[in-house]
Structure formats: C-alpha cells, structure tokens
C-alpha cells in the first residue's frame, strides 16, 4: 500500500451548501503532505470525513487502506488527530488528557511524552480550563506525537503557537520525517512552514483541489516577472499565449510570463533587441495569493 | 456602565422568544388557578372545606407554603406558592447565560474590547432580568386585580413574583463571579435556590406543628416572598427585605467583579496530576470523571429532600390525630394510615420528576461534549460512537436510580411509623418514568441534535401536569402524556407490572432509535 489517504471526487453537502465539490486528495505513505486553502475552503470538512466523523455524499475515500466511515474504530488505532480548535475538559489536567488520548489510541511512549513536554515547555499539571489556546494545542500535539501511530492528521496545529514554539514544532516534524515511517497530513496557512516541511501539497478552494504536486511542480506553475529595455516596440508580445499584465513605462516593458511560455517570450524580446533585462524568479507566495484571491474574483 | 443599553438590546434580541414566553406563561398562571378554583368549588361550604383541609395538610404546606384564609384570591395565591421557585430558576439561568456563559465562550472578550464599561455586561443582564421580573409581576397584578377584587392585594401578589426574580438574579450575579465555569456558577446558584426552598419547607412545616423551627422560613428568601400573604394580612416588609437583599447581593457581585480578571474566578485553580491514573484509559473512565460530581450532588440533594419529606411525614400523622375534621375526612376515605400513604405516594411522584431533571441533564452532557469539540477528540481515537455515548448514558441510567434510592431510604428511615420497604419501593417505582424522559433526550440528541435542548420540555410538561393537571381537571388523555401518571402509587396502592414494563420498553425503544440516529449522523452537527 503506497497511499495513506486516497480521496477521489469527494462531495459533501450541508443542506443547500456544498462544502466539498468533487475533491481529490492523495497522500503517499511516508510523506508530509501540505493541505492549504483559504478559510471555509473545506479543509476541516475533508479531515472530518477522513476521520469517519462525517459521511460523504459522493465520491470515494480510503484511509490507510480502509473505509473511513465503516471501519473508523479500527483505523483510528493507527492514526492521531489534532483538531484546529482544541478544547480540553475543564476538570482534567493537561497531563491526564495526554495520557487518556494516547491510551484510547492504543499506546503512548512515556519517554517521548517526557521529551515533548520539555521541548514544548508545557506544565501538564494545570487544569484544562486554565490553558491558553497555544497551550491547549500543545496538549493535543504532544498526545498525538507521543502516540505510536502511522498517520498524523494535523489541522492548523500551529495557529496558536508563538514563533519559538512554531520552530519547535517544525523541528519535531522534521525529526518524524527522518524516521521515515510516519505519514503526516498538515493543514496550514503558513507558507514558510509548508515550504520547510512538506514533500507534496494540495491547494483547495471552494471544496475542490485546484493544485496538487511537489513544491517543484508548483513552482513550475508560477510566473516569472520580467522588466526589459528594448530597442523597439514589443511587437507580437501582447498576443503571445502565457504573457500577462504587459505594460510599457518610459520605454521599459513589464510583464509576467508563465514558465511554459518563457522561451517564446524571450525569443520575441531578442528579435526586437534587448538593452537590459531584469527577471524575478517565481515565488510560491505569489502562487498562493493568486489561488486564494480567485475565491472572490472568480465567482 | 457605558454600553449597557446596547448590551440590553443584544440580550433582548437573543432572548426574544424565551424571555416573553416565561414572563407571560408564569405571569398568567394565577388567572388559570383562580378560574379553575371557581369551577371546582361553586359553593361556599365546598371551598371552605378545601381551605380547611389544605391549611393543615403538611404535604400541601411543604409544596405551596402556609395557607391563611379561605377566599378564592387567598387560595390562588397560596396555590401559586411553588411559582417563586420557578421564577427564581428562570432569573438565575438568564443572568448566568448572559454573563459567565458569554465570558467562558470568549464573547465577553470580543465585546469588552469595544466601547463597553467593565460592569456593563453584569448590569445589562441584571437590569433585563429585573425588568422581566417586574413585567411578570405586573401581568399577575393585571389579571388578578379584577377577579380578586383587591387592588392592593394584587399589587402585593405581583410584588411577590417580581421580588423572587430580583433575589435570584442577584444571587446568580454573585455565583458567576466565583468560578470561571458557567456550569459551576449555575450549579451553585441552583443549590442556593434549593437550600432556600428546603429552609422554607422546614420552617413552614414547623409552624404547622410546635413552631420551634418556624424561624427557618425567615432565613430563606423564598420564605420571605411566600409570607407576604397578599389577600390576608398583607405583609409588605418582606418585599422591602427582598429589595434590600437584592441590592446588597448586587453590590457584593460588583465588588467581586472589580477584584477579578476577565475569564477568571475568585476560587483559584490549583495544580493537579501530571500524569493520568492508570485507570483513566476508556470512555467509561472519562465519563465517570465527568459525571461523578453531578451524581454525588444530586444524590446528596435528594437525600436532603428525603430528610424533609420523611420528617414531614411525622407531622402529617400528628395532624391527623389532633385535627378533628381532618381525621373525619380521612377516616371516611379509609383510615389514618391512608393519609400518610397518599402523602408518601405523592412526594414519590415529585421526587421522580426531580430525578428526571437529573436524568435529562446527564443525558444532555452528550450534546455538551459534542458542541465543545470534546466528542471529536474522543471519536478520532479507537473509541466507537456507541462506546462513547453508552458510557455517558450509563450515568443517566444509574445516577437517577442512586439519587432516588437515597431519597426513599432517608425518607423511610426518618419517618418513625412507616414501612421503609414500601416508601423506598414507591420512590424506586418512578425509575422507568425517569428513564423515559432520559430516552426522549437521547432520541432528540441522535435524530435532531440541534433540538436537543427541547428535551427539557418533557420534564416541564410533566411538572405542569403534576401542578395544574388535577386542579384544572384536564382530560385524562392529557394527563396520560406524562409517564409519571402511569407509575403505580406506593405505599397504599397496588403494584402492577404492566405500566412498569411498558415504560421500560418505551425507554429502551427511544434510546435505541436515538443511538441509531447517532451512528448515522455528522459529528459535530
């Protein structure tokens, strides 16, 4: 089995609202997979379907080779989940919650537990209601990371952590990655985190996967920004497929070009005659912003 | 205090159905009583006899308070003697809901960051509840002034209701400052209400007998408001006392509020265990941790009630011995033991209803767990939905059984001349009816989770049937709606298995349907 999570054409409706509209998601065993999308895109709904908490209305979902709805209890022994909004029982201490959740999953490594408590600087003796959001998240993270499981499903696990703790989280996940026997599905908004940790990623928007692949694949999808001083007018450039936002200021042309169209665009420039040229390499940030922004502008 | 007006508008918007509903229904209740009395006792002798018997009946005095007088207006006011408890409950729930519940959920922080004064939230909740109480009192005044023929008496009657709301709104204002949890704040306030009721009962019962302990009524705010006697002597000074008490309690709450941080309580949190006990390893172990406080609280509470009811039982017999007319009446019915029997059978029904409230509360913990996200965390582990729900339901099954057992046992033990086995059995027989009400909650939780809180309508309807059913001479089919109507009455009655088996089967059926729905639905929904 090479795929820890395999979802195809997932559909989920809440009354008239369609939360997932044919979502595809494939997470290979052993990889850290980034799961990105604007708020309300359907990340948490997807995760809840994968956990058997909600039933999908259409499509197909496999989790660790099983049916996430029918075999939920059996499959849950092999995974750990950190919800996006962690709430703890007010009358239980953080340490008790860590132990309880670990035992309910089928076991906890006490050495790892102690190590994580120290690295995340968490006092496990406090009552649930006295922890801040970040500390509640640490409790759920430690319970998940100290469990002996194959798959970690983390829903925006660092959204309440301070930058120092975010760094600790990154180190811990990289450590997990080096062990090589764990798969991680990481939903996140933080680009640097995704770039540092993920092998592959999926971007979703309006309940559908809009991009998926390795970081290199996605970089390929981004555009290069070019400014050039030319010998003559940029004839033919405007009609070239893959050239965007072309404009001329003080005899300099500015445009963005898709990676695929880079070569024909440069050839056109050379034909006109190039006096100077500045090119900016594609950035993931620009890709994300473009994908995120389309939510509003497309519809 | 800046922004209080805006917050009041927010409360009125959020409670636009609930608040007018309880204000009107309770405010109008006395008019239902007076018209039913007029129908029941068309002649003077009938009415006078009813008043005479009721005035000396310890069970009635326990439930409604002391009766001084025999006019329709006096009888109506006396029959409304339990209503201040209901008003107090609504008032304290409203205050907690709009203060600590919001604060715990983080909504206060959201509002506190805008141009709103520090005390504005408490002020808004208190003002709204106080005005609601006042309107309720005015409604009662308006509907009673005509039929009773006494404007000043009706004014006092309205003041009785309004004061009940003020007192317990102020009590809730204090309890919400004590802990950081809304549930604990609510529980402490309800315990205070229960204690006030118990003291009132103790004092009034004593006043029937030797009067040694009649001062107990004056320790209880519920004693104050039921000692106004609007259509008799008209005591105005309990109203003054109630206003002073409310003002003082509000002052204390404001001082406490000034001394604590947002989100915190005055009772400081202590450090606990760093690791879980080895036994904390299953959904059942977790459910025990979450339910044990509730179970102990209700069991102790009902045991105390047993102490009161059992103790009262003694005075029922004493009264029957001393009171010529009462002895005559019950002799005609079949002897003095039947008086005691019917008293204990009657209290068993009331205790059953109280236990049903516990059962519904325990069952709705499931919905609580779902809404807070706790269920999601548990169900993402190897725990199945049935194991999770079943471990909670075990406590709505055995918790009320334990609480009923405690009440029956204590009542039977403290009543000297009674048959312990019969009294205990009479209480335990309520259990199948209690389970039916819990099962209604399971059904809603499983099939219509967003309507789970409607489960509280079931005990409310049963209470209504118990309180007004016989007075209003409702149709038997309406009375039959309450499962408690079908429970065999013991001591004194005959125990038949059919209703008990039917009720138990019904409870099982509803629970199974609810769990079936839970298996199929989204969590959270």
For every residue of B322-371, DSSP letters joined together read H-HHHHHHHHHHT-HHHHHHHHHHHHHHHHHHHHHHHHHHHHHHHHHHHH
Whether A127 and A29 share a structural domain: yes
Whether B261 and B294 share a structural domain: no
Distance in Å, alpha carbon of B106 to nearest chain A alpha carbon:
12
**pLDDT at residue A104, rounded to an integer:** 94
How many residues are listed for chain B in this entry? 525
Q: Which among A86, A106, A123 is the nearest to B382, CB-wise?
A: A106
- Please indicate, yes or no, if residue A134 is contained in any of the structural domains: yes
List, as own/partner pairs, every contact residues B494-501 make where C-beta atoms lie below 8 angstroms and the sequence separation is at least 24, other chains included. Answer: B495/B425, B495/B429, B499/B432, B500/B429, B500/B432
**pLDDT at residue B39, rounded to an integer:** 81
Q: Which among A85, A96, A105 is the nearest to B280, CB-wise?
A: A96
**pLDDT at residue A46, rounded to an integer:** 96
Whether B240 and B386 share a structural domain: no
Whether A124 and A266 share a structural domain: no
Q: Which among A81, A89, A130 is the nearest to B290, CB-wise?
A: A89
**Cross-chain residue pair A95–B273, CB shorter than 8 Å:** yes
**pLDDT at residue B238, rounded to an integer:** 93
- Please indicate, yes or no, if residue A288 is contained in any of the structural domains: no
**Cross-chain residue pair A48–B522, CB shorter than 8 Å:** yes
Whether A246 and A136 share a structural domain: no
Q: Which among B276, B289, B376 is the nearest to A99, CB-wise?
A: B276
Contacting A with CB below 8 Å, chain B residues are: 180-181, 269-277, 280-283, 285-286, 289-290, 293, 372-374, 376-384, 520, 522-524
Q: Which residue of A has its CA nearest to B182?
A: A90
User: How many contacts does A have with B, using Cβ atoms within 8 A?
Assistant: 112
Distance in Å, alpha carbon of B229 to nearest chain A alpha carbon:
45
Q: What phi, psi does B478 have (nearest 5°)?
A: -70, -40
Q: Could you read off the pLDDT of A230-278 as tens digits, one per residue?
A: 888 888 888 888 888 888 888 788 998 888 888 889 898 888 889 999 9
Q: Which among B180, B283, B378 is the nearest to A129, CB-wise?
A: B180
**Cross-chain residue pair A48–B271, CB shorter than 8 Å:** no
87-116 of A, contacting B, C-beta below 8 A: 87, 89-93, 95-101, 103-106
- Please indicate, yes or no, if residue B275 is contained in any of the structural domains: no
Whether A197 and A96 share a structural domain: yes
B311 C-beta neighbours (distance < 10 Å), count: 20
| Structural domain ending residue among the three candidates B265, B296, B326 | B265
Whether A95 and A49 share a structural domain: yes
Distance in Å, alpha carbon of B385 to nearest chain A alpha carbon:
9
- CA dist A8 → A48, B118, B473 (Å): 15, 53, 64
- Give all strands of the β-sheet with A223-230 in edge-to-edge order: A243-249, A252-258, A223-230, A274-280
How many angstroms separate the most distant Cα atoms in chain A?
76
Q: Are B185 and B100 in contact (CB under 8 A)?
A: yes
Between CA B190 and CA B357 the distance in angstroms is: 13
Whether B117 and B245 share a structural domain: yes
**Cross-chain residue pair B380–A76, CB shorter than 8 Å:** yes
CATH number of A263's domain: 3.30.70.260
Whether A179 and A261 share a structural domain: no
Residue with tokens 């499983």: B446
Whether B327 and B255 share a structural domain: no
Chain B environment of A74 (Cβ under 8 Å): 382
Whether A179 and A76 share a structural domain: yes
Q: What phi, psi does B227 have (nearest 5°)?
A: -105, 20
Q: Which among A85, A93, A104 is the nearest to B273, CB-wise?
A: A93
Mapped to the 3 state alphabet, what secondary structure does B425-441 carry? HHHHCCHHHHHHHHHHH
**Cross-chain residue pair A81–B293, CB shorter than 8 Å:** no
**Cross-chain residue pair B382–A53, CB shorter than 8 Å:** no
The total of structural domains in chain A comes to 2
Whether B333 and B240 share a structural domain: no
Global confidence as pTM: 0.74
**Cross-chain residue pair B382–A76, CB shorter than 8 Å:** yes
- Give all strands of the β-sheet with A200-205 in edge-to-edge order: A79-82, A151-155, A183-187, A32-36, A200-205, A208-214
Whether B11 and B130 share a structural domain: yes
Check whether A95 has a pLDDT greater than 90. yes
Whether A86 and A178 share a structural domain: yes
**pLDDT at residue B95, rounded to an integer:** 95
Distance in Å, alpha carbon of A149 to nearest chain B alpha carbon:
11
| Structural domain ending residue among the three candidates A218, A243, A263 | A218
Distance in Å, alpha carbon of A157 to nearest chain B alpha carbon:
14
Whether B285 and B253 share a structural domain: no
Whether A182 and A227 share a structural domain: no
Q: Which is more confident, A188 or B110?
A: A188
Check whether A297 has a pLDDT greater than 70. no
**pLDDT at residue A185, rounded to an integer:** 96
The residue range of the domain holding B131 is 1-265
> What parts of chain B have a pLDDT lower than 70?
59, 112, 115, 263, 266-270, 312-338, 469-472
Between CA B364 and CA B362 the distance in angstroms is: 6
Q: Which among B274, B290, B293 is the nearest to A125, CB-wise?
A: B274
132-191 of A, contacting B, C-beta below 8 A: 140, 153
Q: Structure tokens of B489?
A: 């009455």
A66 touches chain B (CB under 8 A): no
Q: Could you read off the pLDDT of A114-131 as tens digits, one per residue?
A: 999 999 999 999 988 788
Q: Could you read off the pLDDT of A30-46 as tens digits, one per residue?
A: 999 999 988 888 999 99
**pLDDT at residue A23, rounded to an integer:** 95
| B197: Cα within 13 Å, side-chain hemisphere | 25
The total of structural domains in chain B comes to 2
Helix extents (H) in A31-120: 43-50, 72-76, 94-105, 110-119
The residue range of the domain holding A276 is 223-281
Whether A187 and A238 share a structural domain: no
**pLDDT at residue B470, rounded to an integer:** 63
Q: Which among B180, B383, B522 is the nearest to A54, CB-wise?
A: B522
ipTM score assigned to the predicted complex = 0.84
* Torsion of Cα atoms, A166 then A51 then A133 then A97, to 10°: -100
Chain A environment of B281 (Cβ under 8 Å): 99-100, 103-104
Integer Rg of chain B from CA: 24
Between CA B237 and CA B224 the distance in angstroms is: 9
A60 touches chain B (CB under 8 A): no
| Structural domain ending residue among the three candidates B214, B241, B265 | B265
- Please indicate, yes or no, if residue B59 is contained in any of the structural domains: yes
Pairing of strands A208-214, A200-205: antiparallel
**pLDDT at residue B484, rounded to an integer:** 93
**pLDDT at residue A281, rounded to an integer:** 72
Element housing A151 (H / E): strand A151-155
**pLDDT at residue A296, rounded to an integer:** 47
Whether B233 and B356 share a structural domain: no
- Please indicate, yes or no, if residue A179 is contained in any of the structural domains: yes
Whether A212 and A231 share a structural domain: no
Q: Structure tokens of B79?
A: 């029959």
Whether B504 and B424 share a structural domain: yes
Whether B285 and B231 share a structural domain: no
**pLDDT at residue B379, rounded to an integer:** 96
Between CA B266 and CA B286 the distance in angstroms is: 27
Q: Are B77 and B230 in contact (CB under 8 A)?
A: yes
Whether B389 and B433 share a structural domain: yes
Whether A88 and A236 share a structural domain: no
**Cross-chain residue pair B377–A81, CB shorter than 8 Å:** yes
**pLDDT at residue B269, rounded to an integer:** 60
Between CA A222 and CA A297 the distance in angstroms is: 19
Whether B5 and B136 share a structural domain: yes
Check whether A299 has a pLDDT greater than 80. no
A73 touches chain B (CB under 8 A): yes
């Amino acid at each position: 089995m090479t795929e820890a999570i395999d979802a195809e054409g997932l559909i989920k409706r809440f009354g008239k609202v369609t939360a997932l509209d044919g979502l595809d998601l494939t997470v290979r065993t052993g990889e850290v997979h980034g799961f990105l999308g604007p708020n309300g895109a359907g990340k948490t709904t997807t995760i809840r379907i994968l956990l058997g908490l909600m039933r999908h209305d259409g499509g197909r979902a496999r989790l660790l080779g099983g049916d996430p709805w029918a075999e939920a209890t059996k499959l849950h022994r092999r995974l750990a989940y950190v919800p996006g909004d962690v709430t703890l029982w007010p009358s239980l201490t953080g340490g008790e919650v860590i132990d309880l959740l670990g035992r309910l999953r089928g076991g906890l490594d006490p050495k790892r537990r102690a190590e994580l408590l120290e690295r995340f600087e968490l006092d496990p003796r406090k009552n649930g209601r006295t922890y801040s959001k970040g500390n509640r998240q640490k409790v759920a993270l430690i319970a998940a990371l100290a469990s002996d499981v194959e798959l970690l499903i983390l829903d925006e696990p660092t959204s309440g952590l301070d930058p120092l703790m975010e760094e600790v989280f990154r180190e811990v996940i990289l450590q997990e990655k080096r062990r090589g026997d764990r798969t991680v599905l990481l939903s996140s908004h933080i680009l640097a985190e995704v770039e540092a940790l993920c092998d592959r990623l999926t971007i979703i928007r309006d309940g559908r996967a809009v991009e998926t692949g390795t970081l290199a694949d996605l970089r390929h999808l981004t555009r290069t920004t070019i400014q050039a001083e030319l010998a003559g007018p940029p004839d033919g450039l405007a009609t070239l497929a893959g050239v965007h936002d072309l404009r001329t200021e003080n005899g300099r042309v500015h445009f963005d070009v898709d990676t695929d169209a880079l070569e024909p665009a440069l050839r056109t420039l050379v034909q006109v005659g190039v006096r100077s040229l500045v090119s900016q390499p594609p950035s993931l940030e620009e890709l994300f912003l473009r994908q995120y922004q389309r939510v509003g502008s497309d519809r | 205090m800046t922004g209080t007006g805006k917050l009041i508008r927010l409360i009125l918007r959020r409670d636009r159905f609930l608040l007018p509903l309880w204000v009107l229904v309770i405010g109008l209740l006395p008019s239902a009583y007076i018209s039913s009395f007029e129908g029941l006792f068309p002649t003077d002798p009938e009415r006078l006899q009813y008043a005479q018997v009721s005035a000396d009946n310890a069970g009635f005095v326990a439930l409604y308070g002391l009766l001084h007088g025999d006019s329709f207006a006096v009888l109506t006011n006396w029959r409304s003697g339990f209503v201040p408890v209901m008003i107090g409950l609504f008032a304290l729930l409203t205050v907690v809901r709009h203060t600590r519940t919001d604060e715990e959920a983080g909504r206060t922080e959201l509002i506190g960051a805008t141009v709103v004064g520090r005390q504005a939230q408490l002020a808004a909740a208190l003002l709204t509840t106080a005005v609601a109480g006042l309107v309720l009192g005015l409604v009662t005044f308006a509907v009673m002034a005509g039929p009773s023929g006494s404007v000043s008496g009706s004014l006092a009657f309205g003041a009785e209701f309004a004061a009940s709301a003020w007192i317990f709104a102020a009590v809730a204002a204090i309890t919400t400052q004590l802990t950081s949890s809304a549930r604990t704040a609510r529980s402490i306030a309800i315990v205070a209400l229960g204690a006030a009721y118990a003291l009132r009962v103790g004092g009034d019962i004593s006043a029937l007998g030797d009067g040694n302990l009649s001062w107990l009524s004056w320790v209880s705010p519920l004693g104050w408001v039921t000692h106004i006697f609007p259509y008799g002597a008209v005591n105005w000074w309990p109203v003054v006392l109630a206003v002073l008490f409310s003002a003082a309690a509000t002052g204390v709450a404001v001082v406490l509020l000034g001394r604590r941080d947002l989100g915190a309580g005055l009772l400081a949190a202590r450090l606990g265990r760093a690791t879980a006990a080895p036994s904390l390893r299953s959904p059942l172990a977790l459910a025990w941790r979450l339910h044990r406080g509730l179970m102990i609280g209700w069991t102790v509470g009902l045991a105390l009630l047993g102490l009161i009811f059992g103790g009262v039982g003694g005075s029922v017999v004493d009264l029957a011995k001393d009171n010529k007319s009462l002895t005559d009446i019950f002799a005609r019915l079949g002897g003095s033991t039947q008086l005691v029997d019917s008293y204990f059978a009657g209290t068993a029904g009331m205790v059953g209803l109280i236990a049903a409230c516990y059962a519904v509360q325990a069952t709705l913990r499931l919905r609580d767990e779902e809404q807070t996200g706790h269920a999601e965390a548990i169900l993402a582990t190897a725990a199945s939905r049935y194991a999770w729900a079943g471990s909670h339901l075990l406590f709505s099954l055995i918790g009320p059984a334990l609480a009923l057992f405690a009440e029956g046992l204590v009542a039977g033990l403290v009543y000297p001349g009674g048959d312990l086995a019969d009294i205990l059995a009479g209480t335990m027989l309520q259990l199948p009816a209690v389970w039916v009400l819990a099962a209604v909650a399971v059904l809603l939780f499983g099939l219509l989770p967003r309507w789970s809180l409607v489960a509280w309508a079931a005990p409310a309807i049963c209470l209504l049937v118990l309180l007004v059913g016989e007075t209003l001479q409702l149709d038997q089919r309406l009375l039959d709606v309450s499962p408690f109507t079908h429970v065999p009455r013991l001591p004194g009655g005959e125990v038949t298995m059919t209703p008990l088996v039917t009720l138990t089967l019904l409870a099982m059926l509803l629970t199974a349907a609810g769990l079936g729905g839970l298996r199929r639905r989204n969590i959270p929904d």
